[in-house]
Amino acid sequence: MNAAEDTEIGPGIGRVEAFSDGVIAIIITIMVLELKAPEEPGLDHLWRLWPTFLAYILSFAYVGIYWVNHHRLVSHARRVTNGLVWFNLLLLFALSLVPFSTAYLGGQHFSRDATLVYLVSMLLPALAYTPFQQIIRVTGSQSAAAQRYYRQSVRKGFAATVIYLAGFPLAFVAPWLGIACAGLVALLWFLPKSPIDRLFADD
């Protein structure tokens, strides 16, 4: 691929990103609509909603991280392929399940079963993101910066999947351990330079 091809964004990429942005915005909107104000007066009634608020904060961070990384990944895309379109839809479908699992987790006060359902809803987008990323890695920019980004994202994605899977047996020990795994993944992606990035600093 020559320099001109490497900097030319193919037609349709903007539409894919705009559509994805809209879907993600709707997902976040649905989640916030689940924050129902108590009808009874008093802060004690408001405090009882803390599981719902905590589940919302974790899921908002999670969806926000996907939005940021989706934008960064798509910026390296150079043409729209059938694989890119369909795997992008698969990713959005997986993310669209997050509001349900968030409401269930908060409504069930972080019970074991609700935690397991939540971890599944966290794992599915991670699995859907992998082939979507691979499509862009093959058909997108091949610059040194892009290749470095691909490698870093693949490493973080693999680590996130392992952490999610570890959360399932831990949730049977204590639901909060499973939730902690989900929080750890969010922290892994949120930090500008995670321990994994420092481990491969020369890559």
Q: So where are the chain's domains?
A: 3-199
pLDDT over 90 for what percent of the chain?
68
- CA-to-CA separations, 151 to 4, 117, 157, in angstroms, rounded: 23, 30, 10
pLDDT at 202 over 60: no
Interacting residues of 196 by C-beta distance below 8 A, sequence separation 6+: 155, 156, 159, 188
pLDDT tens digits along 65-91: 999 999 999 999 998 999 999 999 999
Give tens-digit pLDDT for 157-196: 999 999 999 999 999 999 999 999 999 999 888 876 655 5
Alpha carbons 79 and 202: distance in angstroms, whole number:
30
Helix H or strand E segment including 188: helix 175-190
Stretch among 42-51, 95-104, 137-146 having the lowest mean pLDDT: 42-51
CB 98 within 8 A of CB 31: yes
To 5 degrees, how large is the angle CA 122–CA 138–CA 19? 55
Stated pTM of the model: 0.86
Provide the mean pLDDT of the chain: 87
- Under a CB-based contact definition with an 8 Å cutoff, are residues 70 and 128 in contact? no
What would the DSSP string read from start to end of 100-158? Answer: HHHHHHHHTTS-HHHHHHHHHHHHHHHHHHHHHHHHHHHHS--SHHHHHHHHHHHHHHH
